[in-house]
Structure 1
Amino acid sequence: MSSANLSRTETAARARAVDVHSYHVELDLRGAVDSRRRGFPTVTTIEFTASTTETWIDFLGDSVETVTVNGNRIPVVYDGSRIAVSGLGEINVVTVAATGRYSRSGEGLHRFVDPVDDETYLYTQYEPADARRVFACFEQPDLKAPFTFTVTAPEHWRILSNQAIEQHRRAEGHRTVTFAPTLPISTYITAIVAGPYHRAESTWTRHDLTVPLQVFCRASLAEHLDADEILTITAQGMDFYADHFDYPYPFGKYDQVFVPEYNLGAMENPGCVTFTEAYVFRGAATAAQHQARANTILHEMAHMWFGDLVTMKWWDDLWLKESFADYMGSLVSAEATEFTDAWVAFANRRKAWAYLQDQLPTTHPIVADIVDLEAAKLNFDGITYAKGASVLKQLVAYVGRDAFFEGARRYFRAHAYGNTTLADLLTELSATSGRDLTEWAHAWLQTSGVSTVSLEPATDGGYDIVQTDPRPHRLAVGLYDVDAAGDLVRTRRIELDITDARTRLDLPAAPLTLLNDDDLTYAKVRLDERSLATVDASLDRVRDPLARGLIWSALWNATRDGELAASRYLSMAQRFSRTETNAALLTAVLSNAPTAIEHYLPPPARPAARAAWLEAVWDALHAAAPSSGAQLAFARAVAAAAAMDEHRATDIRAVLDGAAPDGLALDPDLRWSLWTALAATGYADESDLDDELSRDDTATGRTAHLRALAARPRAEVKAHAWASIFADHTLTNDQLDATIAGFRAGSRRELTSPYDADYFAVLRETWTERSIEIARRIVLGLFPDTGSLDAVDGWLATNTDAPAALRRLVIEQRDHLARDLRVQRVNQT
């Protein structure tokens, strides 16, 4: 294991030996506006007690200039990630002066220059362990301390951190600010944001507590920032959490900053939450996009309590913050905002992520065994987020809502500003519910895998609920019949507990019987034959959107498992997407159908299916109501489908030239999607794409231009893209993603297959030489669809000593490929 990859064992030993009292971090960012300067001065002073005479401090940067221990300079012993510190006493003051490096990968202190106005923007992103890229620290979540940040930056910049500015002094051309000390927090949730950001502001008040609310984005995006909606949702979330948590918001102010080239959806830095700029909509946006943004805002706000106030001791218990925040994001959206159907998106899309992850050979319990930081990085996955949230929804049904929230309130009060494990949470929930949760925790938190539940006729005329991989479930069964208007509505609901592989249930026959109605539990659902026939004929007559979401989920899972013919799923997608009124469900269907074509149909069947799908979404685009969310969703689906089939290329160019359907706003992002489709099928050349760039010469436009250029179906284009991915280390994370996407565009295997052997040849070198964030994108993005498992099996067999995190990624990609091949064989019959 490299010295940069901290292990659970060694950090636990350090936590036993060290108790941190405070940090003072000084950053000089005046040189950030000079792109030739790759580094910045950083000085950290740490006060701590120790029961050892020596330890190490973490730092990933260009150099360490000096180390001072209790007033005495000691020799610098630095291996590139750890600074050896000796001569410690019981009480210590250690100062490290070093040079950090500006990031272009979204890890550490990211530097971005806006091509619109040439302004420089900085922001930090640390989770799980990249604070050490900005300042020397004890990089582990259980060594909490107050942080005081002093930052020097150009005079016209805004400078933000977790707390408000306490001191401010100006000098010629720059200013220095010192922020108030934070409350005790972990290193990974400290934050610095600096640059000429645009600001909108408001306040939230409850009793004697007033919280300043601010929203920021780049100046060139200010016209697109719908700050009023963001601030409204923020206030609604504050109201909900104040009512239910009974613990005042603890971090003073509440800033939300939308930042460029972000690696994540958002990050819960207390008092200074950062979000991807994808949530600043440059054009029209669907209701599903607005709902997703609201969910993320409320997810991050929940972290102020679950994660920031009370933090997991080590990354094994990452779920203690992420599962709770994921659950709360949907709950608060549904109960406190206009997005009352948030649970529909959760049931259909969020849980799809969990079901996918939980069926991989690398699946893990919600409470995972995380031995080191590389493993932690990969565990920000569908298990930790969506399965954990699903299980919490089941827990609420099991213990009762009142007991759940009272347990949370006790948890906050008992462990404020501390670190916890699973046992601490279960203690509080057991006390409030009166239930011993030991068996529940074992069944749901300490095991892996997903049950499949189905309804089978019994020999005596009744029905059995059958589940694979049996677990205790609290679930509902809904019976749906046709009403006078011809709609399928629920006529009866039965709620029960099941624990065994087979449970008898007395049910009358119904056209549609829906297991896990209301989505109480976490399980894949199979439709019985009669219900499937009803759905195939009349899915559009199911009026309840949550029921439709569960049905669409059941259909998709059956398709992925090879139990429903991919052609049958595509038929339903073509027929019923046009009448799907829920934006989240429509978005999901329009995403799943192309996946079914490219992954689950055998190759000979794909050309006809691609053409049929393109025609279906093209017709739906023209039939959709002008200026509607459905019209926009189908326009995006046309762009995706047209990258795989050329038959509408002339029509798409006409749309770009002004012949768009009435009401369709061709915003820059949609235009780039259509141009990329034309490029991928050989109907757009470099001059076309350059002309489009002249219309949208923004950061987003330049990245889209890069993707479209790499999408062109020419061997020399693919060769250049491949070389750039591996050799051009100046590519940002977004630019790397765009180049990879362009290389893969159109699924032109005749152009990409020559690189299959090269991919496996450079895997280990890539993992060693690039940061884990960049390496992960390359490993996943370029994994070849070889049509055979031989190459990947050969690599795994000869690289048993490869880093565990790298092997995990390759094993997961192998499993996806194996599933594809298996389901394709089923669909040949």
Structure 2
Amino acid sequence: MSTANLSRAETAERSRSIEVLRYRVELDLLGAVDPGRDTFSTTTTVEFSSRSPDTWLDFIGAGVESVTVDGTAVDVQYDGARIALTGLRESTVVTVVAQGDYSRSGEGLHRFVDPSDGQTYLYTQYEPADARRVFPCFEQPDLKAPFTFVVTAPRGWEVISNQHVDRRDTVSDGQIVTFAATLPLSTYITAVVAGPYHRVEFSWQRGNLTVPLSVLCRASLARYLDADTIFDITQQGLDFFADAFDYPYPWGKYDQVFVPEYNLGAMENPGCVTFTEAYVFRGSATDAQYEGRANTILHEMAHMWFGDLVTMVWWDDLWLKESFADYMGSLASAEATRWTQAWVAFANRRKAWAYLQDQLPTTHPIVADIVDLEAAKLNFDGITYAKGASVLKQLASYVGRDAFFEGARRYFRAHAFGNTTLADLLTELSGTSGRDLTSWADAWLQTSGVSTLALERNDGGGATLSQTDPRPHRLAIGMYDFDEAGDLVCTERTEIDITTSRTPVDLSDAPLVLPNDADLTYAKVRLDTRSLTTVENSLDRVRDPLARGLIWSSLWNATRDSELEAARYLAMAQRFSPTESNPALLTSVLSNAPFAIEHYLPESARADARSRWLEHTWNEMFVSDSGAQLTWARAVAAVAATDGGRAADIRSILDGSAPPPSGLSLDPDLRWAFWLALAATGHADDTDLHAEWQRDDTGSGRTAYLRAMSARPEVAVKAEAWASIFQDHSLSNDHLDATISGFLAGARRDLVAPFAADYFAAVRPTWRDRSIEMARRVVTGLFPREKTLGAADAWLAANADAPGALRRLIVEQRDHLARDLRAQEFNSRFAPSDES
């Protein structure tokens, strides 16, 4: 195993032998504005006690210049990932002077130059273990300590970290910013942000506690920053969590920074939360986007307690923070903000992610077996987030809401600024609820897989509820009938506990019966034959948005599992999407439909399905109300990348010779979506795309231009994109993604299929030579989508000794392809015959 890939066993041993007392980290970022300067000076002084004469500090950088132990210079013993320390006394002070690398991958200290104004922006991103790319440290979550950061930066820059500025000194060529010492933190949630960021300030007050608030973004995005809306959500969340957790916000200030080329949605650095600047909307945004941003803001805020105040010992218990934050984000959205239907999006979209992940051969329990950092990096998945959150939602019902939150409060008080495991949480929840949660934890946290619930109506009345992969569920069964207005409403709901594979239930003779009504448990649902017929004719008459969300979820899961014909799903999507009023559900349906066309229909049926879906979305773009019009326009762009039937009309809108639909704002992002569609179908050339780039010479514009250029359906274009992906290591994370997505854009699979053999030859060297973040994008993004199961199997057989994380990615991509092929075979039985 590479020394960069820390194992659970060795970090546990290190934790037993040392205790970290404090860090002082000094970063010199004055040279960041020089494009020819690839490194920065980083100096760490760490005080710790040791019960062993030997240990090591973690650091991945350009080099280590000196190591001083208790004031004495020692020989540098550095292998590119670890700095060996020997001859240690019980109490030790170590100072390391090193050179770190500016990052273009979003890992460590990322540097971005804004093409709009030439300004340089920096930010850090560490989870799970990239603080060591910025300063030497003990890189594991259970070695917490206070940090003092000292940053030298150009004059006039904003410099932000986890704590407030304690001192700011002016020097001849810049400023030295010294921050107050933090409370004890894990390395991965420390943060530094620096650059000419635009700042807006506010504050939140609760009793005697006043928390300064700020929102920051790049200066060129300042006119798009809706800081007031973000502050509203922030204050609503802080009010909610103050009541729910009864533990004062502990981190002093609350900065929220929107940063470029971010690998995540957001990161919960205490006092300095970072977000993708995709949440700074350059043009119109849908209600679903605003809801998603609010949920993310509240998710990260929940981490101030779950994850930052109390942190898992090791990444096995990553769920202790992510599942809770995912659950709390939706709960706070629904109860503290205007997004009162947040559980609809959770049931339909977040859980779809969990169901997908939980059916892969690489699925794992919520409490996972994470042996090393590479495994940890891949565990930020639908199990850890959405399945865990679903299970916590059920647990809150199982033990009672009051007991659940009182258990959380005791957990914070007992373990503040410390580290925990599953057992610590269960102890507190058992104490408040009076329930022994051992069997519950065994059934839900220590197992993997998703149950499928299906209702079988009996001829003589009554029914049987069956479940695969039996687990204990507390769930509701809703019976829906037509009221006088012709709407489908719940006329009766019964809650039951089930534990076995078959459970008798008493039901009314309702035209629609919905197992897991109100979404109380985590399970896929199959509609019985009569209910499916009712839905197929009257889904738009179901007035409860959560019920509709569960129905849409059931239909999609059945389509993915090849139990419902893709054509039937598409027919329902086309019939009922125009009347779907919930923004999250509409967005989901309009995303699933083209996916079903490209992945689940046999190839012979796709062209006709694309054409029909294009006409459907095109017409709705012109007639839908303003709240949904942008969603429909994006749906047009998505399908138009595979069907050129409206290319001339789209070009006319873009060049101004025809007006866009009334009320539709043709903002830069939407224009690029249309240009990508034209490029992918061969209706835009490099001259067209270069002109649009000149019109939008911004960071987002350059990324979109690169994507569109790689999308053109030409052999030479695809070869150039392929070479760039594997050979040009100067591509940033966003530009690598853009090249990959452009390479794959459109319906011309014949142009990308010839690269399959090259892919399997290149993935292992790619994993070896690039960071895990960049390698993962290549491995997952370029996996051949044609009939390459045999090639994948051959690679797996020949590479049994490959890193486990890489093998996991290949296994998962192979499984996605196998599902596609099974669905295509299934749906070919229902395709229209060519015979007369």
**Band the TM-score falls in, shorter-chain normalisation:** over 0.9
Name the residue aligned to 1:642: 640
1:107-506 mapped onto 2 (5 Å cutoff): 107-458=107-458, 460-506=460-506
The alpha carbon displacement at 1:629 in A equals 2.6
The C-alpha deviation readout for 1:253-301, integer Å capped at 9, x for no partner, is 0000000000000000000000000000000000000000000000000
3-state secondary structure, aligned to 2:644: coil
Q: Is the 8 A contact 1:359 1:449 kept in 2?
A: yes
Name the residue aligned to 2:834: none
The alpha carbon displacement at 1:657 in A equals 2.3
The C-alpha deviation readout for 1:12-60, integer Å capped at 9, x for no partner, is 0000001000000000000000010000000000000000111110000
Q: Is the 8 A contact 2:718 2:752 kept in 1?
A: yes
Name the residue aligned to 2:43: 43
Distance in structure 2 (CA, Å) of the matches to 1:38 and 1:546: 51
Distance in structure 2 (CA, Å) of the matches to 1:800 and 1:679: 40
Greater shift in the superposed pair: 137-146 or 596-605: 596-605
Distance in structure 2 (CA, Å) of the matches to 1:632 and 1:121: 31
The alpha carbon displacement at 1:460 in A equals 4.8
The alpha carbon displacement at 1:754 in A equals 1.2
Matched, 1:611 2:584: no
2:246 counterpart letter in structure 1: D
1:511 counterpart letter in structure 2: P
1:536 counterpart letter in structure 2: E
Q: Is the 8 A contact 2:475 2:520 kept in 1?
A: yes
The alpha carbon displacement at 1:619 in A equals 1.1
The C-alpha deviation readout for 1:309-360, integer Å capped at 9, x for no partner, is 0000000000000000000000000000000000000000000000000000
Name the residue aligned to 2:756: 756
The alpha carbon displacement at 1:496 in A equals 1.2
1:624 counterpart letter in structure 2: S
Q: Is the 8 A contact 2:454 2:466 kept in 1?
A: yes
1:555-566 mapped onto 2 (5 Å cutoff): 555-566=555-566
1:26-65 mapped onto 2 (5 Å cutoff): 26-65=26-65
Q: Is the 8 A contact 1:285 1:629 kept in 2?
A: no
Name the residue aligned to 1:15: 15
The alpha carbon displacement at 1:461 in A equals 3.0
Name the residue aligned to 1:689: 689
Q: Is the 8 A contact 1:753 1:784 kept in 2?
A: yes
Q: Paired residue for 1:656, among 654, 659, 665?
A: 654
2:628 counterpart letter in structure 1: A
Distance in structure 2 (CA, Å) of the matches to 1:785 and 1:234: 42
Q: Is the 8 A contact 1:656 1:671 kept in 2?
A: yes
Mark the runs of 5 or more structure 2 residues left unpaired by the alignment: 830-836
1:710 counterpart letter in structure 2: S
Distance in structure 1 (CA, Å) of the matches to 2:272 and 2:68: 31
Distance in structure 1 (CA, Å) of the matches to 2:747 and 2:422: 45
The alpha carbon displacement at 1:695 in A equals 1.1
The alpha carbon displacement at 1:798 in A equals 0.6
Distance in structure 2 (CA, Å) of the matches to 1:46 and 1:629: 54
3-state secondary structure, aligned to 2:332: helix
Distance in structure 2 (CA, Å) of the matches to 1:801 and 1:172: 55
Name the residue aligned to 1:632: 630
Q: Is the 8 A contact 2:457 2:528 kept in 1?
A: no
The alpha carbon displacement at 1:459 in A equals 6.0
Matched, 1:575 2:575: yes
The alpha carbon displacement at 1:514 in A equals 0.6
The C-alpha deviation readout for 1:199-231, integer Å capped at 9, x for no partner, is 111100001000000000000000000000000
The alpha carbon displacement at 1:823 in A equals 1.1
Distance in structure 1 (CA, Å) of the matches to 2:150 and 2:789: 54
2:26 counterpart letter in structure 1: E
Distance in structure 1 (CA, Å) of the matches to 2:572 and 2:787: 27
Greater shift in the superposed pair: 305-314 or 817-826: 817-826
1:183 counterpart letter in structure 2: L
Q: Is the 8 A contact 1:69 1:87 kept in 2?
A: no
Aligned length in residues: 827
Distance in structure 2 (CA, Å) of the matches to 1:733 and 1:287: 28
Runs of 4+ off more than 4 Å = none
Distance in structure 1 (CA, Å) of the matches to 2:800 and 2:108: 31
Distance in structure 2 (CA, Å) of the matches to 1:461 and 1:495: 19
3-state secondary structure, aligned to 1:577: helix
The alpha carbon displacement at 1:454 in A equals 0.7
Distance in structure 2 (CA, Å) of the matches to 1:343 and 1:502: 28
Distance in structure 2 (CA, Å) of the matches to 1:229 and 1:126: 28
The C-alpha deviation readout for 1:42-95, integer Å capped at 9, x for no partner, is 000000000011111000000000001111111001000000011200000000
Q: Is the 8 A contact 2:487 2:542 kept in 1?
A: yes
1:518 counterpart letter in structure 2: A
1:527 counterpart letter in structure 2: L
3-state secondary structure, aligned to 1:746: coil
2:17 counterpart letter in structure 1: A
Distance in structure 1 (CA, Å) of the matches to 2:370 and 2:349: 26
3-state secondary structure, aligned to 1:480: strand
Q: Is the 8 A contact 1:198 1:216 kept in 2?
A: yes
3-state secondary structure, aligned to 1:53: coil
Normalised by the length of structure 2, the TM-score is 0.99
Distance in structure 1 (CA, Å) of the matches to 2:458 and 2:86: 73
Distance in structure 2 (CA, Å) of the matches to 1:30 and 1:580: 53
3-state secondary structure, aligned to 2:643: coil
1:349 counterpart letter in structure 2: R
Distance in structure 2 (CA, Å) of the matches to 1:285 and 1:752: 33
The C-alpha deviation readout for 1:232-271, integer Å capped at 9, x for no partner, is 0000000000011000000000000000000000000000
Q: CA RMSD in A?
A: 0.6
The alpha carbon displacement at 1:546 in A equals 0.4
The C-alpha deviation readout for 1:630-683, integer Å capped at 9, x for no partner, is 110000000000000011100111121232110000000000000000000000
1:456 counterpart letter in structure 2: E
Normalised by the length of structure 1, the TM-score is 0.99
Matched, 1:698 2:698: yes
Distance in structure 2 (CA, Å) of the matches to 1:788 and 1:186: 43
1:476 counterpart letter in structure 2: A
Q: Is the 8 A contact 1:39 1:102 kept in 2?
A: yes
Distance in structure 2 (CA, Å) of the matches to 1:308 and 1:171: 34
The alpha carbon displacement at 1:788 in A equals 3.7
Distance in structure 1 (CA, Å) of the matches to 2:87 and 2:440: 49
3-state secondary structure, aligned to 2:213: strand
The alpha carbon displacement at 1:458 in A equals 3.4
2:768 counterpart letter in structure 1: T
3-state secondary structure, aligned to 1:648: helix
Distance in structure 2 (CA, Å) of the matches to 1:462 and 1:21: 66
1:279 counterpart letter in structure 2: Y
Q: Is the 8 A contact 1:32 1:120 kept in 2?
A: yes
Distance in structure 2 (CA, Å) of the matches to 1:651 and 1:426: 60
Q: Is the 8 A contact 1:191 1:269 kept in 2?
A: yes
The alpha carbon displacement at 1:168 in A equals 1.2
3-state secondary structure, aligned to 1:297: helix
The alpha carbon displacement at 1:174 in A equals 0.2
Distance in structure 1 (CA, Å) of the matches to 2:717 and 2:514: 50
Name the residue aligned to 1:520: 520
